[in-house]
Structure 1
């Protein structure tokens, strides 16, 4: 018995998220025979939870007269990365981004529209039905003959003496049966390593006890390790896409709180944060750049978000200050907030504290009462004066903490994915330790480096999944062209 129908394919794609699905479909559209591997039982990975992709000059933006300069974006993003991002990769990505939006539409993807997030540009193309609908309803690569194997991993890359890819060993997760597949090209699109604690500890500086992965759980660095074992250069590791404060509830899956108004109120508002000493430590409006917010939270050993009954009532009546993507919209009236808070208090959730006085709240949070009282008195004075003398927060967000009961929420740091690990060319070819392409090996999506520095750029929301779709298309097209040339040579 064999796992795959055939023992030879033009291309083997590893991973079925946005990058892998796009790569397999694009390669098939260029006439290649493709084997698509998914190690889990279900396809799509973390891309299922994405809301929309980044693009410039799309047909949707043109219809709304949204004008964003691609060159300005390139300069902003490369500067943001402290020039650790590759300007050539950004240039290709930007120039093809509108084509990616159109290509997805041509496959059947429907869009809700274009919007910004926080203080960013209106470059976020929101698709209907989340990534789940895009990957399962629209991008049906199997209709073009792509063979899909689930619960199947790639365990080894086979190479010729010059390093060129010649095959891959695949293995069934259910039976441990293996099969060697002959192929001239492999595209790695395995989603990074956020869910591999050992790699996170080794390759990043984050305190993983405070980091909460909100993902499919399958990003364990499989593709990176395969490539490194084949001689690829380890490059661009160390960055996780943080998204600010997140509630840690050991009794619930982490993704559950994405649609929670309590999570949005506690972790995503520009209100009041105190550290483990009861001190305020930053302009909390940093939440408008959620990756910066994650960085800011990591400057302290422990952080609490403080809300009083007054601001809870205000957000219920008038709407929140800052949303959480499309899960909880910016300005949405928080009509479920009080009920969610009450339920969390009643259930003694470990992240929430409630008291009738500030002193009692500080005691429950195990913070120094005198310092908490002083911090809140000082903050309230800034609110009365309309001027934050410590950190310069916009007066619009200076809301007093004065009406009981009072609530404290312990904030951990949420993360969606990592990005980087393999240095690639503008054709998404993987480079070896000398900077030369490993013939026939490609990396797309979160496995590829070149898009970021040490911090993700959410001022252009949808950049990560947009790059996944683009780099998948890009690697699929170039891999198909390469294998076609190889077929001509062999004949």
Structure 2
């Protein structure tokens, strides 16, 4: 008995997120026979939770009168990366981005519009139904219609190569039975979503404190594609970067993704209000939340971080809206009509991340810090707020909201992360490169497995770049794999 009754395909794609599904669909539309592998029960991976993709000069931006210079985007992103991003990859990505939006539309994706995030540019093309609808209602049905064979609960565990290093096949394994089968193929696309959920790889390849990092993802990003690529002679390159998104509440009793829609979570971790460290001291201009990757970095400068909210600012956000949201899950300016009930429920359940007290001194004791130090910090902060001048870190006056109206709440903040980025160096065709910078023939990488987009920090000033690159690099991989396979067949 075999896992699938066909043992040869032109292309095998590993991973069914935005990158893998786009690669499979593009290759099938170019005439290849394609096998698309998913190790879990559900296709889509972490792309299911995405909200929209990056683009410039799209038809949607033109309809809304939005003008963003592609060259300015490229220069800003490369400078943001301290020139660790590949300018050539960014050039191709930017130039193709408008067509990518159109290609998705042509394959059934519907959009809500274009917007910015935080202080960033309006490059974020929000699709209807989140990424789940993009994958399951549009791209996968179209791919299967075009002949793509999809196997779930099936992993790729080994790549085969000939004496010249050319990819010749892949070994797959069924999760339920453990059965293995060898599939002949001329090309493989690795699109497995990085390694955020592999604690061993995270501890060895990144500097993050894993006790404080809260992965918010599908849970399937365990570095499978990277290990396959490295085993085939690929260069390990560009590891060490996670896509952080600032303060996040960790509830050990619930899956991390459930906090994404919580108004309490947005109130505690995403507002430009008062943060203190384990000693009760401020340490940063809290309006850093408008760049969520910077916010994540700032949180890591301290051993522990707590946000302090008083009843006055909670009531204000309930009546008038928040200062900063969390993507499209909790929108910026949204009235926080559920925040008080969520806070009350967390207090009643004695959740470990929340503390409530009638005085600042009592709150400090409950959070395990010196009462006099927190009281001193709050007194100084309130005095600066009264003057409209942050004498310590220069936070804008509109965010200097005094902490004066009890009861008072403290929230212990973890650092949220969506994904890792990088691991395999690729060229402009998304071919995987070896130690000498030469292509591993027949091997491609896309999405979070592929390097070239970031430096040591993800750039949220152009929202949607991560999933946008997944779509772009997946489609680019599929297109170039199709050309390679057809050329290879002519040569043979």
TM-score above 0.5: yes
Q: Per-residue displacement from partner, 1:73-125 (whole Å, max 9, x unpaired)? A: 00000000000000000000000000110000001111000000000000000
Aligned to 1:98: 98
Measure, in 1, the Cα distance between the counterparts of 2:5 and 2:329.
41
Q: Per-residue displacement from partner, 1:38-92 (whole Å, max 9, x unpaired)? A: 0001100000000000001000001111110000000000000000000000000
Q: Does 1:24 align with 2:24?
A: yes
Measure, in 1, the Cα distance between the counterparts of 2:416 and 2:469.
21
Aligned ranges for residues 441-456 of structure 1 at < 5 Å? Answer: 441-456=443-458
Aligned to 2:138: 138
2:394 to 392, 410, 413: 392
Q: Shift of residue 487 of structure 1? A: 1.6
1:346 to 332, 348, 357: 348
Aligned to 1:355: 357
SS at match of 1:238: strand
Aligned to 2:367: 365
Measure, in 2, the Cα distance between the counterparts of 1:136 and 1:273.
40
SS at match of 1:180: strand
Aligned to 2:81: 81
Per the normalisation by structure 1, the TM-score is: 0.99
SS at match of 1:137: helix
2:461 to 455, 459, 462: 459
Measure, in 2, the Cα distance between the counterparts of 1:173 and 1:227.
21
Per the normalisation by structure 2, the TM-score is: 0.99
Measure, in 2, the Cα distance between the counterparts of 1:471 and 1:406.
48
Aligned to 1:37: 37
Measure, in 2, the Cα distance between the counterparts of 1:278 and 1:393.
18
Aligned to 1:376: 378
Q: Shift of residue 485 of structure 1? A: 1.1
Q: Does 1:167 align with 2:169?
A: yes
1:158 to 160, 167, 170: 160
Structure 1, gaps ≥5 residues long: none
SS at match of 2:441: strand
Aligned to 2:127: 127
Q: Shift of residue 489 of structure 1? A: 2.0
Measure, in 1, the Cα distance between the counterparts of 2:414 and 2:181.
43
Judge which range, 236-245 or 3-12, deviates more: 3-12
Aligned to 1:480: 482
Q: Shift of residue 246 of structure 1? A: 0.4
SS at match of 1:373: helix
Q: Considering only aligned residues, what root-mean-square deviation do their CA atoms show, in Å?
A: 0.5
Q: Per-residue displacement from partner, 1:156-203 (whole Å, max 9, x unpaired)? A: 100011111011111111111111111010000000000000000000
Measure, in 2, the Cα distance between the counterparts of 1:353 and 1:386.
28
Measure, in 2, the Cα distance between the counterparts of 1:186 and 1:266.
44
SS at match of 2:119: coil
1:313 to 312, 315, 322: 315
Measure, in 2, the Cα distance between the counterparts of 1:237 and 1:105.
33
Measure, in 2, the Cα distance between the counterparts of 1:105 and 1:394.
41
Aligned to 2:244: 242
Measure, in 1, the Cα distance between the counterparts of 2:64 and 2:134.
23
Q: Per-residue displacement from partner, 1:259-304 (whole Å, max 9, x unpaired)? A: 0000000000000000001000000000000000000000000000
Aligned ranges for residues 182-221 of structure 1 at < 5 Å? Answer: 182-221=184-223
Measure, in 1, the Cα distance between the counterparts of 2:16 and 2:152.
9
Q: Does 1:439 align with 2:406?
A: no
Q: Shift of residue 31 of structure 1? A: 0.2
Aligned to 1:264: 266
Measure, in 1, the Cα distance between the counterparts of 2:415 and 2:23.
32
Q: Shift of residue 357 of structure 1? A: 0.4
Measure, in 1, the Cα distance between the counterparts of 2:153 and 2:340.
42
Q: Shift of residue 488 of structure 1? A: 1.8
Measure, in 2, the Cα distance between the counterparts of 1:406 and 1:5.
64
Aligned ranges for residues 408-423 of structure 1 at < 5 Å? Answer: 408-423=410-425
Q: Shift of residue 2 of structure 1? A: 1.2
Q: Per-residue displacement from partner, 1:445-490 (whole Å, max 9, x unpaired)? A: 0000000000000001110000000000000000011101112222
Structure 2, gaps ≥5 residues long: none
Q: Per-residue displacement from partner, 1:384-421 (whole Å, max 9, x unpaired)? A: 00000100001010000000000000000000000000
Paired residues, number: 490
SS at match of 1:420: strand
SS at match of 1:198: helix
SS at match of 1:121: coil
